[in-house]
Structure 1
Amino acid sequence: MSNFEEMQKLSKENMDIAMETLGSMSKGFQAIAAEVADYQKKSFEDGSAAVEKLVASKSLDKAFEAQADYFKTSYEGFVGEMTKIGEMVTDLSKDAYKPYEGVLGKMAK
């Protein structure tokens, strides 16, 4: 009977760990999705402003300058955003792993 109780306890602990991991992953994915949505909105607004500036250009030189400025800021924004999302994914991975640290520590003993 003792083995059955131990198996039941182990099963409950594993389920609790899995639920904790799923909760942290869900929060992490929601944060990433919100960040991507904000970036898309900002990118669209910046693109619209660049088109307006391009159309309002009085000369070809000003149009090329406006286009070059937009490409530069767009690229820098993209790199910055991907770096931020990469850090968020790293944090998500760390948070998802935390519940297993105790279990793996017990197994190592």
Structure 2
Amino acid sequence: MNNFDEIQKLSKDNMELAMETMGSVSKGFQAIAAEVADYQKKSFEEGAAAVEKLVSTKSPDKAFEAQADYMKTTYEGFVGEMTKLGEMFTDLSKDAYKPYESMFGKMTK
């Protein structure tokens, strides 16, 4: 009977860990989705502004300059956003692992 109680407690503990992990993973993915949506909106607005600027230029030199500025800004923004998303995924992994740290600590003792 004692083993059954231990198995039941272990099962309950594992379920609690799984639920805690799923909660943190869900929050992490929601934050990532919000960040991606914000970046897409910002990117679209910047693209529309660049097209307006490009259309309103009077000379080919100014058009090339406007396009080069837009491409540089877009590239820098993209690299920055991917770095931020990478950090968010790293934090998500760490948060998902946290509930299991104590369990793995008990197993190594």
1:26 paired residue number: 26
Q: Letter of the 1:4 partner, please give it.
A: F
Kindly tell me the number of residue pairs found equivalent between the two proteins: 109
1:2 paired residue number: 2
Alignment of 1:95-106 (within 5 A): 95-106=95-106
Query: What is the SS of the residue equivalent to 1:100?
Result: helix
Deviation at residue 38 of structure 1 after TM alignment: 0.1
Query: What is the SS of the residue equivalent to 1:102?
Result: helix
**Structure 1 gap ranges (5+):** none
Question: What is the TM-score of this pair, normalised by structure 2?
Answer: 1.00
Please state if 1:88 is matched with 2:88.
yes
Deviation at residue 91 of structure 1 after TM alignment: 0.2
Between the aligned residues of both structures, percent identity stands at: 81
Post-superposition, which runs of at least 4 consecutive aligned residues in structure 1 deviate over 6 A?
A: none
**Structure 2 gap ranges (5+):** none
Deviation at residue 31 of structure 1 after TM alignment: 0.1
| Pairwise CA RMSD | 0.2
Q: Letter of the 1:103 partner, please give it.
A: M
Give the distance between the partners of 1:104 and 1:62, measured in 2 at CA: 62
Query: What is the SS of the residue equivalent to 1:48?
Result: helix
Deviation at residue 44 of structure 1 after TM alignment: 0.1
